[in-house]
Every structure is written in structure tokens, then in C-alpha cells.
Amino acid sequence: MSHYGVLTLRDYSKELSRFTVQYGAVTAVSLPGLLTDWGSLKTAVAGITLGVQAQEILNIDNTILSSAVPVSPFAQRELKIEVSYTGDTSGKTFQIEIPTPDLDALTLNNTDEIVLADGGVMAAFVTAFETIARSPDNDTETVTVVKALVKGRNI
């Protein structure tokens, strides 16, 4: 079940129920058609139900990329990069954590802070992240990475 959509409906008692629809592989060419078909399905569901459409999930890909084990014993999920970023309009700050950082590839500021503009791998991450990421509160608001720290858990 790697390509599917989920539609969640809320009933009068505020309880949620969902159903899943599987569809074929999604490509750049088929994506517009999928979005049109999904919209038509939601409209059709509205015509046959009394509940409120509360949430939707469109999973366009769920591919296992590898089952390999890292060669480095330092590739531990308890060690993370905590990336802080702000919404470019709201100014609200958010964080994500990226596990198993390669500390040899990163440049640190004599503390646990990672240099963002290192001219290398971290700068490439910042550029890629800011290109695709949007604020969790508003999917049209672009974001800016403001800080990255090395964090540890249970170490």
C-alpha cells in the first residue's frame, strides 16, 4: 500500500472515522490528474455523507530506500541536529531534528552550534530545506533556517 489517500470525516458526536483509497503510482505527469480525481472523489463523498470532511492525506510515495545498516558505530539516533527555522512572514520559530549527524562533515562554532554558511554540506542543506519547506502553520509561508545545534539523548 504505497500510493493511497485517506479521507477522515467527523460525525455529530465529534468522533472521527476514515477510509482509505489506493491508487496507482504517481509521476510528475499523473499528479495533476490525481489531484483532480481526488477532488472529484471528495465532492462525491460530500454528496453521500452528512459528516464534515475533517482531514485528508495523499500519500504519493512510500518507498523503502534501503535496509542497509550504517558502517559507522557513531550513526546513532540519539545524536541529532536540531534545526531551528522561522516563518518569513509570521516570525514564528519551529524546530525539526535530524538523527545520526556526521560530525566530521560539519563545522561547529566552538560550541554545539553548527555553522550554517560553511560553504559545504550544511550550506547545501540550508538551501535545499529553505527551497521546499513551508511553515507548519501556513503552507504558503516560506521559511528561513536560523540555527542548527548538535543535541544528544541518552548518551
User: Is the pLDDT confidence value at 1 over 70?
Assistant: no
The yes-or-no verdict on residue 155 having pLDDT over 90 is: no
CA angle 83, 66, 20 (to 5 degrees): 80
Confidence label for 64 from pLDDT (cuts 50, 70 and 90): confident
Reported pTM: 0.77
Break the chain into its structural domains and give their ranges: 4-59, 79-152
In this structure, which amino acid lies at residue 82? E
Give just the sign of the alpha carbon dihedral 93, 96, 100, 106.
negative
**How does DSSP classify residue 111?**
S
Task: Name residues whose C-beta falls within 8 Å of residue 19's C-beta, 6 or more positions apart in sequence.
Answer: 6, 7
The amino acid present at 119, given as its one-letter code, is: G
Mean of the per-residue pLDDT values of the chain: 93
**Positions of E strands within 14-137:** 16-22, 52-59, 79-87, 93-99, 134-135
- 7-50: per-residue pLDDT in tens? 999 999 999 999 999 888 888 999 999 999 999 999 999 999 99
- Beta carbons within 8 Å of 119's beta carbon, 6+ residues apart: none
